[in-house]
Chain A
Amino acid sequence: MGKVNTIQDTENEIVEEFGLFDSWDDKYEYIIDLGKRLPPLDDKYKVDENKVRGCQSTVWLHADYKDGYIYFSADSDAVIVKGLISMLIRVLTNHTPDEILNAKLEFIDRIGMTKHLAQTRSNGLLSMVKQMKNFALAYKLKMESNGN
């Protein structure tokens, strides 16, 4: 399958959408809305090894691999974090491990999120990115060893 949109395309879309908002109140309302609309994660995936470390709230991240593409799903008990994951998923899901590993994810900086979130919370965001890339790396290595 795979998406027509590149990771960069989706990043640009998000930056454009955020450009429509005048204030951070509006941006947060949008993120909260994204969080509320994130499809629920099956309870069977809410296990310790899917927990993202470095977050003040509990975040679970799950990845499926099918025909060369990775599909992410996630949940959190905090809604803003859920909104942030929702954006990360929108950018990274349905891409190959290589595409995910090479993603620069500059949109996080470009929408002002790294600067706006306190360092500790920003770290939580970076932890999520790291975990998504770890999934990609794991699948990549698995596929390579299967291929040999």
Chain B
Amino acid sequence: MATIEEVQPAIDIVSVRKQFPILERLVKGKPLVYLDNAATTQKPQSVIDALTSYYSGYNANIHRGIHTLAEEATAAFEATRDAVQQFINAATREEIIFTRGTTEGINLVAATWGRQNVGKGDEVIISGMEHHSNIVPWQILCEEKGAILKVIPVNEAGELQMDVFHSLLNSKTKIVAIVHASNALGTINPIKEIVAAAHNAGAVVLVDGAQSTVHMDIDVQNLDCDFFALSAHKLYGPTGVGVLYGKKHILESMPPYMGGGEMIKEVTFEKTTYNDLPYKYEAGTPNIADVIAFKAAMDFMESIGKENIARHEQVLLNYATEELQKINGLKIIGQSKHKTGVISFVIDNIHPQDIGILLDNQGIAVRTGHHCTQPLMSRFCIPGTTRASFAVYSTIDEVNALVAGLHKVVKMLS
């Protein structure tokens, strides 16, 4: 078991926590213990400052204006694109498309690449641990095209049954859309193996990176995935911003998604020619302020170091796993050896909602319910779980508070 001493060298937790003003607040008269980071992370002061300095210093619409403010805003907006390119190691900046979030990224691919390439009788593969946002867009596509949705089953430990995956692949498989790290279980999936096998079968791969990007170093070229979608708000950035990465030659071959300003080269009533990448997929005025502030979030992560963050979260995960298992009747759902800082559990004869309400009364924020993964909950025959999820600012003390809180909950309910 890792000790507290082993946590300290990885990051200076006191100085990290000082950067997050919200962590000082009280909830129900008690210090906030925020363990709902897989839903959204809190924001460091630098991200908040980036938002206010944009609105108070250089608010302007981008790409079109000739004046100073427009140039400053455009430069800051495009600087985030460069930062994302480096952050996930994309080959070119044109491969970085700003979206509203992971959900929009997935829908974009389903509606463009999907409509163009998936036909009657073709097959789309997803997995049994997908978030609804990586299920429903493909169901809509398959229904429209008469294609077939195939699902990689999940084993008792909460891992993909890879042997079944390999047997599902065939010449009809057009795309594999797969979650990198499960939001409900924390399981990290073997993306490289999935991509290699899918490519062998002639299929492309979309990776839902909503939960993975904050916990590990993402290298899209190394993964060799064709699409990768992520959300800024899950990695200390603002809400309403996401990124869709796509390989350049694939993005170029795809039809546009939304029509409007910015995405065009020339418009006549007879014919419109579309803009080059990435602007072809960025119709309308984008979320300028939040995109600009997203760079501050990535800078924050880089300043701590992605490896240090991952190490810190693993220590917390291991400690929490050991301590929670000591609680009578508690069962951890998702016992893979490869997990992000997410721990999902059920307690015998206690509904997750009761746990959530009573923990909230102690100032402890966790997520309860089905986590937008109803098929996965059915797989484990449970209505939902209680989920604690860690971030760079989470502490051993907070894990202890959770454990003490749960003991109290069990006592109150039994």
Contact = CB atoms under 8 A, between A and B. Distances in A.
Interface of A: 24-25, 28-29, 32, 56-58, 77-81, 116-118, 121
Contact of B383 (A25, A58, A118): A58
A33 B185 CA distance: 32
Of all A-B residue pairs in the complex, the 10 with the closest CB atoms, nearest first, are: A78-B351, A78-B353, A57-B353, A56-B353, A80-B354, A78-B354, A56-B369, A24-B361, A77-B351, A80-B357
Most A CB contacts (10 A, CB to CB) among B28, B354, B360, B384 go to B354
A80 B353 contact: yes
21 contacts: A24-B28, A28-B358, A32-B354, A32-B412, A32-B413, A56-B384, A57-B383, A58-B383, A77-B351, A77-B383, A78-B353, A78-B354, A79-B413, A80-B353, A80-B354, A81-B353, A116-B28, A117-B357, A118-B357, A121-B353, A121-B357
Contacts of A56: 352-353, 368-369, 384
B354 A79 contact: yes
Interface residues of B, number: 15
A57 B351 CA distance: 8
A28 B412 contact: yes
A58 B370 CA distance: 12
A111 B353 CA distance: 20
B79 to A, nearest CB: 37
B30 to A, nearest CB: 11
A35 B283 CA distance: 53
B383 A28 contact: no
B353 A28 contact: no
B357 A28 contact: yes
Interface of B: 28, 351-354, 357-358, 360-361, 368-369, 383-384, 412-413
B34 to A, nearest CB: 14
A97 B130 CA distance: 46
Given A28-B358, A116-B361, A121-B357, 15 more contacts: A24-B28, A24-B361, A28-B412, A29-B412, A32-B354, A56-B368, A56-B369, A56-B384, A57-B383, A78-B353, A79-B351, A80-B353, A80-B357, A116-B28, A118-B360
Nearest to B370: A56
Contacts of B354: 32, 78-80
Contact of A25 (B352, B360, B361, B368): B361
Contacts of B351: 57, 77-79
Nearest to B357: A80
Contacts of A121: 353, 357
Contact of A28 (B352, B361, B368, B384): B361
Nearest to A79: B354
Nearest to B349: A79
Contacts of A57: 351, 353, 383
A116 B351 CA distance: 19
Contacts of A118: 357, 360
A9 to B, nearest CB: 28
Nearest to A121: B357
A27 B383 CA distance: 26
Contacts of B369: 56
A80 B359 CA distance: 13
A123 to B, nearest CB: 13
A18 B215 CA distance: 45
A38 to B, nearest CB: 14
Contacts of A32: 354, 412-413
Nearest to A31: B357
Nearest to A124: B353
A123 B358 CA distance: 17
Contacts of B413: 32, 79
A119 to B, nearest CB: 12
A119 B95 CA distance: 39
Most B CB contacts (10 A, CB to CB) among A28, A56, A81, A118 go to A56
Nearest to B362: A25
Most A CB contacts (10 A, CB to CB) among B351, B352, B384 go to B351
Contacts of A78: 351, 353-354
Contacts of B412: 25, 28-29, 32
Contacts of A79: 351, 354, 413
